[in-house]
Amino acid sequence: MRVRSCIAASAFAFASLAGTAHAEDIVVKSFDGTPIVAHWFPNPSLAAGERAPVVLNGPGWSQPGESNPAGGAIKRLHDQGYNVLTWDPRGFGVSGGEANINSPRLEGRDVRALIDQMAREPEVQLDRMGDPRVAMTGGSYGGGIQLSTAGIDRRLDALVPVVSWHSLETSLYKDRTFKQGWNSLLYSAGLAAATGGGLAGGPAGVQTGGLDPHITSAFQSAAATGNLSAEDERWFRDRGPGDRYIRRITAPTMVVGGTVDTLFPLDEDVKIFRLLRARGIPAKLFWFCGGHGQCAEGNGGEPGSGLDVGSILGSGGGDPRLEAATAAWLAHYLKGDESVPTGPAFEFRSDDGRYRVARDYPVLSGPAVRARGSGRLTITAGATSGSSIFAAAAPAGGLDVPIRVRRASNLLGPPKVAITYRGTGTPRTARIFAQLISVDRNVVVGNQSLPIPVTLDGRRHRITRRLVPITSTAKAGARYRLQLVAGSALWATQRANGTIRASRIDVEVPVAAARGLGPSGRRCTTPRRYTIKLPAGLRERIAGGRILVEGRRVASLRAGGKGARVRFGARATGTQRLRLVLRLSDGRTVRRTATVHLCGAAA
């Protein structure tokens, strides 16, 4: 391995890979002077003068970038014909600076500097000067950085974020409830790793960074009280990417979620996917059994707790179908080989171990499975159930609502729970936790437990929440139950004492209609007509334009040829993407997109 500094002029030769291109460490100076150490692996099959696209593969939280070209992601990407760059994120490995949890303004700009460097490498294919043909892959922290970077840099040509997040606030502090189990593991790992290598010296010299102080203060405050300060909550919200940065992404994106991921559950991936699809960005949603959690499929019992947390932090590999889908996505959008199909927009693995596909998400819905119950739940300080990374049925003391699935069904999407109750106790604001249990398999579906805020003031209240999306294949007569529990080790320690008397609990579990599944699902033969109102203030300046439905032109606009409204017909296919492209007389182009769900599809 060679070492090259992009700050200083010196370079030190070590061992090289086979072929004409050499592997080396590169020290890249970021926007604020922070040294970021990258590991550069040009494709060893390249002959002198040949170029290929480059894939930036990011590591998990607290980890350095991969450095072994003989296996893992580097070899897999080399075999597919790409150059590979990995790196030690800010604050970790031998890079400098403080870790800021993939802030677009910090870690995002670090990666932008790496992309600048790739544009200068002779082995990297260019789209134009300063613009390399580049994609990003990686799981967990290595997935989140893709969204933070793509939200500020449009040079990226393809993304495959695996088990990443839409918002750190909704994933780590849902309903203002601290996700204590995972936060404890992540904080310990981050604290131990922050510039640990840099303190010993590396290509960039001795570094003394660490974790941003907000990470420590948030963890300590939440562990002691269950709450974050307003400042810390705002800090995590500002890490993004959220709607603000995802709406800026232009790169085709395959969003990969883990069906048993309790750190970044499937609703985080769904938000990302739907934001991209609504803007007409090529996007695919892929659910596999993995991520931050442990897979329990078939008739297996409760997932085991003997997990290697370090391996989970960068999870996403090991599933052949996921690896094949990733390879196809990169071939199509990074290599530009349109002959390689990327498959249906939604692929998912259910808890029977089988993959299914659909034309889009959400899929066409059938009649939901419904149940109703009532009962009493005692809340006791310190009550708990499950483990720090997956939920488990409470052995006693829970409030259960039996659910019977009368017909063989694919349960798919977010279950809905509505509770009418009166509660008494102290303090007045508390949390209980909802989880859906497969009685026949003796597991909590998807490992998930969701906090539900309750008020213990003796008055009547009603609260409605959608749980984390699930995928569960149920046989006719299958038994499930909604369980409300007083505590979950996934979440903050229960600090309240009191009683909840629920006079009515309504449960609704979504079911995928059979005709909504398959590569051409959601068929509907009912013709639909649309009316589009042209944007006010633009009508007189329209020089031309077109309206497209699912990429097919259905109407054209000419200067002075249309009034304030445009009417046209299109045959419905379940979900339709409508796109309006207007050319104005001053030379500008205005684009508007919308997604329309038809045939009774659930939102």
156-215: per-residue pLDDT in tens? 999 999 999 999 999 999 999 999 999 999 999 999 998 778 888 899 999 988 899 999
Say if residue 526's pLDDT is above 80: no
Report the sign of the C-alpha dihedral through residues 261, 266, 267, 270, in that order.
Answer: positive
Q: Which residue has the higher pLDDT, 101 or 574?
A: 101
What pLDDT score does 590 carry? 82
Phi, psi at residue 278, to the nearest 5°? -65, -25
Alpha helices, DSSP H, located in 126-173: 141-150, 168-172
Say if residue 447's pLDDT is above 70: yes
CATH fold of 524-597 reads Immunoglobulin-like (2.60.40)
What pLDDT score does 190 carry? 95
pLDDT tens, residue by residue, 65-81 = 999 999 999 999 999 99
pLDDT tens, residue by residue, 135-144 = 999 999 999 9
Alpha helices, DSSP H, located in 402-527: none
- Percentage of residues in the chain having pLDDT higher than 90: 73
Task: Report the alpha-carbon distance of residue 272 to residue 246 in Å, rounded.
Answer: 7
pLDDT tens, residue by residue, 223-264 = 999 899 999 999 999 998 999 999 999 999 999 999 999 999
What pLDDT score does 529 carry? 66
What pLDDT score does 563 carry? 56
pLDDT band at 8 (very low <50, low <70, confident <90, very high): very low
pLDDT band at 456 (very low <50, low <70, confident <90, very high): very high
What pLDDT score does 567 carry? 72
124 - beta bridge partners? 52
pLDDT band at 41 (very low <50, low <70, confident <90, very high): very high
- The CATH H-level (homologous superfamily) assignment of domain 369-515 is Galactose-binding domain-like (2.60.120.260)
Q: What is the pLDDT of the chain when averaged over all its residues?
A: 88
Say if residue 581's pLDDT is above 90: no
What pLDDT score does 603 carry? 29
The DSSP element (H or E) to which 274 belongs, if any, is helix 266-278
Q: Residue 70's closest CA among 61, 79, 83, 81? A: 79
What pLDDT score does 300 carry? 41
N-term to C-term CA, the chain: 52
Question: Tokens at residue 474, please?
Answer: 């149920």
pLDDT tens, residue by residue, 386-432 = 999 999 999 888 999 999 999 999 999 999 999 999 999 999 999 99
Give start-end residues of each CATH 3.40.50.1820 domain in the chain: 2-343
Task: Report the alpha-carbon distance of residue 96 to residue 102 in Å, rounded.
Answer: 14
Task: Report the alpha-carbon distance of residue 419 to residue 376 in Å, rounded.
Answer: 12
pLDDT band at 303 (very low <50, low <70, confident <90, very high): very low
Alpha helices, DSSP H, located in 151-225: 168-172, 180-193, 196-199, 213-225
What pLDDT score does 528 carry? 58
Give start-end residues of each CATH 2.60.120.260 domain in the chain: 369-515
- Determine the Cα angle at 77 with ends 337 and 109, to 5°: 90
**Mean pLDDT within 47-52:** 95
Say if residue 553's pLDDT is above 90: no
2-343: which CATH number, 3.30.70.2200, 1.10.540.10, 3.40.50.1820, 1.20.1070.10? 3.40.50.1820
Say if residue 216's pLDDT is above 70: yes
pLDDT band at 64 (very low <50, low <70, confident <90, very high): very high
What pLDDT score does 583 carry? 86
What pLDDT score does 404 carry? 97
